[in-house]
A and B are shown apart, each in its own frame.
Chain A
């Protein structure tokens, strides 16, 4: 596996894009997609390093991450629908009733 650095760089770029997206966007669905992007960036790292080191543990982890991500998508979308039903928006800056 001679090109490990390439995979890691791509992964770091994807992770950074995801992080910045989460921190700057206010649309819940966009934030959600950004989180998925971060997760997949990590998955890419896992797979790349697993291959590089000849150890399958990393790939097993990827399956776990994908499973959790699927569950998270289901729960997250349900939350968003419930939120939309109440506020007719999915702007997270409107989610402020839990403070103080």
Chain B
């Protein structure tokens, strides 16, 4: 049925091999970029064919395991190279290949003239391969291969400008923090495999097999342990508290990388993983609560940091962390479809925002370069007034900003409102729901504020760039602008496939297509909930839902108004505000000192322990043993060397004596 699905990850792999092995010799940027983008385009076409075929099937048949070959067989343990085609993985491959293709095209323009152009496209294609393996793999092990692969590519691409120390450090930080999470993922996978095998004699790591047998799993207990381990993995990959600090630093990589890996695709792997194993997570109310609380906290916390950053990419990075927090809030509320929906809309508008910021940085960089200025091209304090210079970039950026701010009619509104509603009305967390909703709503207000602050500082007002550079500011080439337009269009209309039920009903019964489409994936969770109804939440009336929706929109509008007042109307206000609350501003500006705290708690003790083991254990004990053996041998040699006199008759005498001794032994024995 889906026999050609294995082609989807294959094309980027081929692209990676061609560019990786021969890119240095090809040299021609158009060819290299063309190969990279074309490989992803092929994947995208196959993905489209796959999803069309899937949609032509009735709902309950939309599931297929496509085995390519047997990978590992060892006793009870079986792992295949096999791909899982179901509504969830189809959504993911569409996002990954679709957004990925646009970003590849954009990169051809953005990376023009960079050293190691071929290296960039090779890594990018390797990333696409790993990400597709992650979302298509039909068992935990194959998913883990992709999981590690995207981590590796993330490391390679963050450190793309490796001659800059900060980029190398950021890459290492991302890699190490991801390793902490990966450890959790592995522990979870091992425990799950072991438990299902030991207790129920079902030795499998296949997702469909696990789902079918999930009715054997208890509620809580071992499942809580397993799901918490998996969630640790998700916090690492998806930058949630406490493992989020690597993502803002990851902005050291080129901007297309930030858009593709650190906004649209890789960082959502944790959300995808939870949705993929929803039947596990739904069985542990404790884990759901942890996920919801962590998600809400991250959404609020990261949004608060975003309000005071001046680096355009850093604001977007914290925004990404915050939006990922929303997705986890949805997961924790048991609203898996809403989380995946937000994942999709977020991929559209955040990729658009990152690429737009890349276009701005690109233009700023060139202008500053022409003017021989050493000002920071990413600092919003140097920007301003770009609206007239880069009209297309501005319009696309504005549309994506409106979408992320949650203004009705744009995609972000539908997904975010659905999440907030689910956080309020879900049956799992009792009165905690009010708090979750409150945190989410405040975070939504902060999001609207800092995003419009970014827009106003960048595109409005007077230009703050050096006058000499100002004339060199210009709109980017079409290869950069076209992806922006497509993504902006998607950010506007992408939400209409998942209109929340209450809105759809009042508009004349438009169903929530997206939720309906994903239903088969969450079937086992629904069955479980039907048997074990959770009684935590009330059933709020429609009036409450309308009220909450209006409230969240109102909060967003308040955020925008404040941003407008502070950064357009009365630009002295921010300075007054800083002067009035110096301690608060310093704390927020320095990211609540979390990096310093981690340095103090983890990094420095680890370094100290390392130094102690080096100077104490390695130098004294290990080297002592090795050198000691050598010294003993040497001193024996020093004594014995006097036997070797070098005089012929001494040797002759010792030979003769030896013969006499041996002979007399045999004669007189």
Q: Which residues of A contact B (CB under 8 A)?
A: 19, 22-23, 26, 31, 92-93, 95-100
Contact = CB atoms under 8 A, between A and B. Distances in A.
B653 A23 contact: yes
In the A-B complex, list the 4 residue pairs whose CB atoms are closest, starting with the nearest.
Answer: A99-B646, A96-B646, A92-B648, A98-B646
Interface string B537-570: 0000000000000000000000000000000000
Contacts of A96: 645-647
A34 to B, nearest CB: 10
B contact face: mostly helix, strand, loop, or mixed: helix
Contacts of B645: 96, 99
Given A92-B649, A97-B646, 10 more contacts: A22-B652, A31-B648, A93-B647, A95-B646, A95-B648, A96-B646, A96-B647, A99-B645, A99-B646, A99-B647
B165 interface: no
A99 B642 CA distance: 8
Contacts of A26: 649
A95 B652 contact: no
B646 A23 contact: no
Contact of A23 (B644, B647, B656): B656
Nearest to A100: B641
Interface string B482-500: 0000000000000000000
Contacts of A19: 656
18 contacts: A19-B656, A22-B652, A22-B656, A23-B649, A23-B652, A26-B649, A31-B648, A92-B647, A92-B648, A92-B649, A93-B647, A93-B649, A95-B647, A97-B646, A99-B644, A99-B646, A100-B641, A100-B644
A79 to B, nearest CB: 11
Contacts of B644: 99-100
A19 B649 CA distance: 11
A22 B650 CA distance: 11
Contacts of B652: 22-23
Interface string B627-652: 00000000000000100111111001
A16 to B, nearest CB: 11
A45 to B, nearest CB: 15
Nearest to B646: A99
A97 B656 CA distance: 23
Contacts of B647: 92-93, 95-96, 99
Contacts of A93: 647-649
Contacts of B641: 100
Nearest to A20: B656
A95 B656 CA distance: 20
Nearest to A93: B647
Contacts of A99: 644-647
Nearest to B657: A23
B640 to A, nearest CB: 11
Contacts of A92: 647-649
Contacts of B653: 23
A23 B656 CA distance: 8
Contacts of A97: 646
Nearest to A28: B648
A17 B58 CA distance: 113
Nearest to A99: B646
Contacts of B648: 31, 92-93, 95
A24 B620 CA distance: 54
B4 to A, nearest CB: 78
